[in-house]
Amino acid sequence: MRYFRRGCTAAAQGRKRSMANAQDSRFVAAATKSGIAEIREGTLAIQRSPNIAVQEYGFWMQTDHTVLNQLLATAARAAGIPVPTTLDPEQQAGIDRLSRLHGAAFSRAFLPKEVTDHQEALAVFRTEVQRGQDPGLVRLARTSIPVIAAHLTEAQTLQAAHAWS
């Protein structure tokens, strides 16, 4: 409600309206859903992996993606773009598959998924930087890329460092 009032006040005072385009809307949807999935998958890693490094990675995903999704929601609302609250069926199916696993089997499935998910997320954020029009969303995407790249690097490192046999 607070953001809605701010938007109305800004419009009433003749401030510049959002410059959001279709790319910005696609970015908000994809990035938010990716973040929701990362938070849920991070929770599963904490609960189901026997490896402390994987558990800590899961906690990192929970923490960073919670903050990122909050920032993204604020920027999206300022741009007048709706923020999704649910996952796509494919994303939910991936989480459902992980939720049935425990121990080393969980870690074997989780880490490659994290690598792929973060590669895809990097592409989404880079595309927003290149093609987005809303300054707040583009700025958020630009400043988030190093964090997502660090997530990817750590997932790759964990995957390479552990033999999940």
**Domain that includes residue 52, residue range:** 20-161
Residue 35: which residues within 8 A CB-CB, separation 6 or more? 65, 66, 68, 69, 72
User: In CATH, what number is assigned to the domain containing residue 58?
Assistant: 1.20.1260.10
Question: What pTM does this model have?
Answer: 0.86
- The conformation of residue 48, written as its DSSP 8-state character, comes to H
Q: Bigger pLDDT: 17 or 68?
A: 68
Is residue 59 assigned to a domain?
yes
CA quadruple 147, 123, 139, 84: dihedral sign: negative
What domain count does the chain have?
1
Give 74-121 pLDDT, tens digit per residue. 999 999 999 999 999 999 999 999 999 999 999 999 999 999 999 999
**Would you say 115 and 159 are in contact if contact means Cβ atoms under 8 Å apart?**
yes
Is residue 8 assigned to a domain?
no
Q: At what angle do helices 52-78 and 2-12 cross, to 10 degrees?
A: 30
Q: How confident is the model at residue 163 (pLDDT cuts 50, 70, 90)?
A: low
